[in-house]
Amino acid sequence: MTRAARIAVWLGVAAAIAAPASQAITGWGLTASQFAGQGDSTLRVAGYAFSIWGVIYAGLIAYAVRRMVQGPGAALEAAVDLPLAAASLGCGLWIVAAGLNQMWLTVLVIAGALAAALVGLVGLRRTSRTFTWAERLTVLWPLALLAGWLSVASVVNLLTVLTAQGLIGPGSAATAAIAGIVAAGAISLAVFFATGFVSYTLPVAWGLVGAFMAERGDQPVVAYAALACAGLLLLVAIFIRPASVGRSA
């Protein structure tokens, strides 16, 4: 099972990187921005925020390399291998689904990727260990950054699809956007209290600040709701860290 899990990691990470790369090279299908543009009037995230994918991809590659050069692994890798592989594969499949404009499929795929990443984070927490710097760089942070970003992206993606399908109209857009922000914040706080990983909260806050920057001109109430949610999450992460979690997390 260990060897199969390692292969799954390599295949999942390869899919996550190959899907957007192939689209950039060949130009097939809708790009992520074109897909989002069909229903981004409810809640948008500033374009610069998506630069976090460069860091996420680097982290996924770091974990894949770790699993290539090390031995069979122990409890740390056993907790992460399959969830990270599934979440990475989901990222690649989302690009395919969005490129083919399969809107509801993108909702299912990104929700599955988020669920897998969160399972991995909880499993990592249950290893009850103090992380070395190498483990943080190649295991904890890659998974935490992916899970945190997907926590925001899954909500924004759902709102985008609902808007594109006409299920959210101009009159209810602000209410739906604020509800989505609250949902993202609630999910993030629940995950933080379950794991204690501050590194998980950072990409969530990054995405919410990106929403603030994108919406402050057109929907100031929505924008400041996103900013307030980001601020609350960071304050909780800094000052109310679960006592059972070490400072190294």
Q: What is the identity of the amino acid at 130?
A: T
Structure tokens at 40: 């981004």
Q: Where are the domains of the chain?
A: 2-239
CA distance 234 to 238: 6
- The 3-state DSSP class for residue 84 equals helix
Give per-residue pLDDT as tens, 16-35.
Answer: 999 999 999 999 999 999 99
Residue 232 has pLDDT above 50, yes or no: yes
Give per-residue pLDDT as tens, 113-125.
Answer: 999 999 999 999 9
Residue 31 has what pLDDT? 95
**Would the pTM of this model clear 0.85, i.e. be above it?**
yes
Nearest to 125 by CA among 16, 199, 68: 199
Given the structure tokens 């249950």, which residue do they identify? Answer: 126
Helix axes 141-164 and 173-195, enclosed angle (nearest 10): 160
pLDDT band at 137 (very low <50, low <70, confident <90, very high): very high
CA distance 225 to 149: 18
Give per-residue pLDDT as tens, 73-92.
Answer: 678 888 999 999 999 999 99
User: Mean pLDDT for the chain?
Assistant: 93
The more confidently predicted of residues 131 and 150 is 150
